[in-house]
Structure 1
Amino acid sequence: MNYEWLALLAAALWACTSLISVTPSRQLGAFAYSRWRMGLVSVMLLSAALFNNQWQMITLEQAGLFALSGFIGVFVGDTALFACMNRLGPRRASLLFACHAAFSAFLGVWLFNEALFGWSLLGAGCLFLGVALAVAFGRKPDQHSWEKISGPVGIAVALGLTAALCQSLGTVMLKPLMSAPEFSQIDPVAGSALRMFSAFSAHWLLWLSGNKLARAQNPLNSRLFMMIAANGFLAMAVGMTLMLFALRYGDVSVVALLSSTSPVLVLPLLWIVTKQAPTRSAWCSAALCVLGSALLIFA
């Protein structure tokens, strides 16, 4: 079996779940939606990790690193991403989030003295050019509400880039742990469960503090709850499981490239849902982001 294609299926699921996120995120607000999503995903992953019974393979120091990665990458990163999505829509938000590949490359240069020149530098430029094209062009007066920009563009772009940067930081800080020989003995489901539970704990403490940002803008109903549960199950339980199989048995570079195609895959899905064909600039910006990711991965 060609396991690399499981990464493409995972990317398709993430594209689908980005559309599922739009309604509950806008109804509840970024913080309340993220809190419920992280809570439900934590229950799913903790249950799976308890079933596998692999907790004893994670040391206290490793658990702390997973928790810190979850706080930065999931609590801050995901919340910023949904706040960006509420302002720019799922297409532009996914393109901004794709910049995490470029940020990871720059962080590798800064923290691990990795080289970034030639094709890698061109890839980073393609990513940022694709995002700029998506935000600056392609607007139409009769656009679907998911494509309209709400509020100041600068704030929305800053939120999207913050989400991408936090995703990169949350991943890069695990690099020393992942490269260690003992990492192969760590159950990835248990590690993901720790990251998610750390993010949920931060959301829960923020909500307990009475901070206005943490309050839900509208009451949670059964329809929104099912959408959040479906999003968490498809994105984390199914999507991440497919990615784990792809990474374990497939070529890592090909898997990384196929999993970065969400900005392109979301376009036909938006076409189906909104009944409006994406503009040429939308296709061009998505293609630039995927090309940039490919150059960064294979360079």
Structure 2
Amino acid sequence: MGLGELFSLLSAAAWAVGVILYRQLGASLPPLQLNLVKNLLVLGMVALAIPLLHGPALPAFDAGSVAIALASGFVGIAVADTLYFRALNQLGAGRMGILGNVYSPAVILLSFLFLDERLTLLQFLGFGLVSLGVFLVAERRAGDAGGGPALLRGLAIGLAAILLMAVAIVMVKRTLESQPLLWVTGLRMLGAVGGLLLVGGLMARHRGTPLLPPLRGLPWRKLVLAAFVGQFLSMVFWLGGYKFTSASVAAILNESSSVFILLLAWAWLKEPLTRRAIAGVVCTLAGVGCMLIPA
């Protein structure tokens, strides 16, 4: 297993912890406020981590790399994460898990068009097995939202979020390969926070709602844990996966997060494991194994 493949799997595991925590936090915090608070926390974590790991010297960023990293953060975090949290509240984890299958094909297509990446036949088999496994796992909980226009609106929002995440990561792939990982992470977070402050400020003025929730009474312990594991660690590992392996392979391995969510729900929330869910775990692990076999 290469470093990129390991980081991609660790990212999926960390994101699974974050999804459970964000699902609980979303019951009391609107998506935009939740996204802004957690990104401010993550920006502080990244700012502390950069000098510890990279020292005080500044990397040799050119203007184009800085602009791409900032734009990637705005698109992939400020916009996409806000839409994702809204869809997660509306659809539930089950349907969002199924909708997440769009992410890998979107990254593979964009990588084919813009990064000249190709998959081997064995990796295509792995992609199919991972997608089947995620579908089997997610379908078990797919009845948690109603039908009608609300469902269609939620599906459209969720699809837009996932497609924007794919665009954002392919956009920054070349910059990740040539620049220090945490510096790129920090620039993406600056783009995200700046975008959220701009969009949130306009929405707050238009709707008369506060940009930030009342700080007193917030579940800070859960917020910090969600920000550290579900965003900081998940994002560093996620970007590290794309830095050290191809975007297509990293995207497919990231899909294993749905299996980690299932296993955490079983161990943490005492939810039962059905035969369908176990079959999904087996398919996903087999697919991951195909992705890890050298070409």
TM-score, normalised with respect to structure 1: 0.75
What's 1:195 paired with?
Answer: 188
Selected match of 1:99 from 97, 102, 111:
102
SS at match of 1:99: helix
Asked whether the equivalents of residues 45 and 189 of structure 1 are also in contact (C-alpha less than 8 Å), the reply is: yes
Which stretch shifts more, 258-267 or 126-135? 126-135
What's 1:77 paired with?
Answer: 80
Q: Distance in 1 between matches of 2:14 and 2:80?
A: 19
Superposition deviation, residue 86 in structure 1: 0.8
What's 2:65 paired with?
Answer: 62
Equivalent position amino acid for 1:168 in 2: A
Equivalent position amino acid for 2:174 in 1: P
Selected match of 2:260 from 265, 283, 295:
265
SS at match of 1:171: helix
Superposition deviation, residue 89 in structure 1: 2.4
Aligned residues: 287
Map Cα deviations across residues 180-213 of structure 1 (whole Å, 9 max, x no partner). Answer: xxx1xx2211110110111111111122222449
What's 1:144 paired with?
Answer: none
Map Cα deviations across residues 18-73 of structure 1 (whole Å, 9 max, x no partner). Answer: 11111212211111110111111112112322553243422222111100111111
Q: Distance in 1 between matches of 2:135 and 2:214?
A: 36
2:45 equivalent to 1:49? no
Q: Distance in 2 between matches of 1:12 and 1:213?
A: 38
Q: Distance in 1 between matches of 2:94 and 2:208?
A: 24
What's 1:148 paired with?
Answer: 144
2:16 equivalent to 1:23? no
2:41 equivalent to 1:40? yes
Superposition deviation, residue 166 in structure 1: 1.3
Map Cα deviations across residues 167-186 of structure 1 (whole Å, 9 max, x no partner). Answer: 1111111233345xxx1xx2
Superposition deviation, residue 258 in structure 1: 5.3
Q: Distance in 2 between matches of 1:148 and 1:200?
A: 31
Selected match of 1:235 from 194, 216, 230:
230
What's 1:108 paired with?
Answer: 111
**1:199-238 counterparts in 2 under 5 A?**
199-209=192-202, 210=204, 211-212=206-207, 219-238=214-233
Equivalent position amino acid for 1:46 in 2: A
Equivalent position amino acid for 1:64 in 2: A
Map Cα deviations across residues 133-192 of structure 1 (whole Å, 9 max, x no partner). Answer: 667x5359xxxxxx722563323332332222111111111233345xxx1xx2211110
**1:102-141 counterparts in 2 under 5 A?**
102-114=105-117, 137-138=139-140
Which stretch shifts more, 26-35 or 91-100? 91-100
SS at match of 1:27: coil
Q: Distance in 2 between matches of 1:109 and 1:293?
A: 21
Q: 1:118 to 1:7 in 2, by over 3 A?
A: closer
Superposition deviation, residue 107 in structure 1: 1.1
2:175 equivalent to 1:177? yes
Percent sequence identity over aligned pairs: 25
Which stretch shifts more, 245-254 or 274-283? 245-254
Q: Distance in 2 between matches of 1:31 and 1:265?
A: 26
What's 1:87 paired with?
Answer: 90
Q: 1:214 to 1:38 in 2, by over 3 A?
A: farther
Q: Distance in 1 between matches of 2:285 and 2:209?
A: 34
Q: Distance in 2 between matches of 1:267 and 1:102?
A: 22
Superposition deviation, residue 233 in structure 1: 1.1
Q: Distance in 2 between matches of 1:63 and 1:168?
A: 19
Q: 1:56 to 1:21 in 2, by over 3 A?
A: same
Asked whether the equivalents of residues 31 and 83 of structure 2 are also in contact (C-alpha less than 8 Å), the reply is: yes
TM-score, normalised with respect to structure 2: 0.76
Equivalent position amino acid for 1:270 in 2: A
SS at match of 2:144: coil
Q: 1:149 to 1:226 in 2, by over 3 A?
A: same
Q: Distance in 1 between matches of 2:187 and 2:80?
A: 16
Q: Distance in 2 between matches of 1:165 and 1:296?
A: 22
Asked whether the equivalents of residues 45 and 193 of structure 1 are also in contact (C-alpha less than 8 Å), the reply is: yes
